[in-house]
Amino acid sequence: MLVVLADGKSLEGETYGIEEAFFADKGIEFRIEDCMTEEKVIEKCKDADAILSVYAPITEKVISQLDNCKVLVRYGIGFDNIDMKAATKYGIPACNIPDYSIPEVATHTIAMLLHFERKLGILDKSVKQGEWNPNLGFKSTRLSSLIIGLVGFGNIAQQTADYAKAFGMEIITYDPFIPNEVLEAKGVKRVELDELVEQADYISLHVPLNEGTHHLINEERLKKMKNSAVVLNTARGPIIEQDALVKALKTGEIRGACLDVLENEPAKLGDEILELDNVVITPHAAFNSNQASERLHTRVTETAYDVLCGGVPKNIVNKDVIASLNNN
């Protein structure tokens, strides 16, 4: 068997000792490539039994030319680099790792909220420039008087709600798929999306990127927000229409934004959003911790091997293929 990590060589600072040791122990060939185009993925991964990827484009063009592929595994929670419809069409299970960094992303969300509301960046910068003014910038608000609106209420949002509750924040959510008993257990109120953006002081995004969520936060919804509202995004950049967000931030339609993800990554010097003082940006780093990294590499490896051995792991995203796997 052959397992290929399609784009591992393209990722600065990553190591794959866990994968190398695991597959070597199983007698499975493991290769690390640098495929960041469809053509490269086809060239380097065509014969693979399993393909692992972070950002490599696993499109229908790619999937249609995979001769042996039995499983696709994505390093992370999101899976927008994999064409799920095509994977299902060709009967290939596609898996993500939905639980490897739940506390990290929830912590990052709250950390960005605290950083912004307590003006840590503004005050730190001012002191280092020779000022000593505790009243610089806007007046901070006591957290227990704020409403946080969670768009999506999956695992990360639920953990975020627990953290926000510790500060006494009121919590509302928009998620048509989560059962009422889950919301009741967490003490969270369900509202419609437009109600959420109108009521919340912090609007935090926790949905996957797909056709239905692309530009979910657009010019129309930004106009419905309070002018004191702050948008938080630790999910995927294109969930927000970035040009509309920049406009809203520049004109004062909203107070600020805390972004771990952008519509186009990586950011480039000269991007207008980098010039705004009312924006906090981190480089898609919310997932990052020693523990999360170890779990991610381990779970990707175990998931690929499970499917190759005839298993049906719970983290298959395109569940329509499960029936055919069971029949095999």
What is the DSSP secondary structure assignment for residue 203, as one 8-state letter? E
Residue 81 CA: distances (Å) to CA of 69, 78, 287, 316: 17, 8, 18, 15
CA–CA gap between residue 159 and residue 260 (Å, rounded): 17
Task: Map tokens 């798929």 to a residue.
Answer: 177
- Measured CA to CA, the distance from residue 37 to residue 59 in angstroms comes to 10
Confidence of residue 14 (pLDDT cuts 50, 70, 90): confident
Cβ–Cβ < 8 Å for 147, 199 = yes
As a whole number, mean pLDDT of residues 237-250 equals 98
3-state secondary structure of 123: helix
With CA atoms as reference, report the closest residue to 77 among 306, 323, 326, 295. 295
Q: What is the pLDDT of residue 11?
A: 82
Answer whether residue 12 shows pLDDT above 90: no
- Please give the average per-residue pLDDT across 93-111, as a whole number: 97
Ramachandran bin of 72, using left for φ above 0, alpha for ψ from -120 to 50, beta for the remaining angles: beta
Domains and CATH numbers, the chain: 2-100+289-327 (3.40.50.720), 102-281 (3.40.50.720)
**Pairing between β-strand 147-151 and β-strand 279-281 as defined by DSSP bridges:** unpaired
Q: Is 90 exceeded by the pLDDT of residue 3?
A: yes
pTM: 0.92
Spatial separation of the C-alpha atoms in residues 96 and 99, rounded to whole Å: 9
What are the respective helix, strand and coil percentages of the chain, to the nearest 5?
40, 15, 45
pLDDT in tens, 140-182: 999 999 999 999 999 999 999 999 999 999 999 999 999 999 9
Catalytic residues: 236, 265, 284
Tokens, residue 32:
């690390």
